[in-house]
Amino acid sequence: MSAKFIGSGNLGNEPALRQVTVGQERRPVADMRVYVDRPKPQGDGSFVDEGGFWLTVSTWGRLGEHCARVLNKGMRVRVEGVLWHNEWDGKDGPRQEIRLTADHVTLELGRVEAIHMKQRGGDDHADATE
């Protein structure tokens, strides 16, 4: 099963960068957990969480490297990509999870105090979604 997904939530951990062999090449991939919530606005300007779920998000290539370098636990992000349903036999019996392979990860600016940009140059944006 796969489906396009867009959601926002808070990072539950620091993105963990690892190397995976795909065919004959090694590629970086960063995995992170995101609590995708459904905040409902209240009349006083506050919000109430109407429930949510934890989602494992994987980002590949340069996007994965950038996520691992820039994102921290607790940051609010918007993730877009393809959902995958995985099933396997674990030591305690059958297991399953829904995982997102993200094409885009965007930092939501509501809690950001400062952004430091690096100098423009090179091909940083040429293959950001590898």
Tens digit of pLDDT at every position of the chain (130 positions): 568 999 999 999 999 999 998 889 999 999 999 999 888 888 898 888 888 999 999 999 999 999 999 999 999 999 999 999 889 899 999 998 889 999 999 998 877 777 777 777 655 544 444 4
Cβ contact 83:99 at 8 Å? yes
Residue 126's pLDDT is 45
Q: Where are the domains of the chain?
A: 2-111
**Measured distance between the N- and C-terminal CA atoms of the chain, rounded to whole angstroms:** 22
Residue 128's pLDDT is 44
For residue 49, what are the contacts with CB-CB under 8 A and spacing of at least 6? 37, 38, 39, 40
Residue 75's pLDDT is 93
Contacts 24+ apart (CB under 8 A), 20-23: none
Q: What is the CATH number of domain 2-111?
A: 2.40.50.140
Look up the pTM and report it.
0.77
Run of H or E including 61: helix 61-70
Is residue 77 helix, strand or coil? strand
Number of neighbours of residue 21 by Cβ within 10 angstroms:
8
E strand intervals along 12-68: 16-22, 25-41, 47-60
Residue 127's pLDDT is 46
The span from the CA of 124 to the CA of 36, in Å, is: 28
**Cα distances (Å, whole numbers) of residue 33 to 56, 97, 117:** 5, 12, 26
Sole residue written with tokens 């949510």:
52
Residue 129's pLDDT is 43
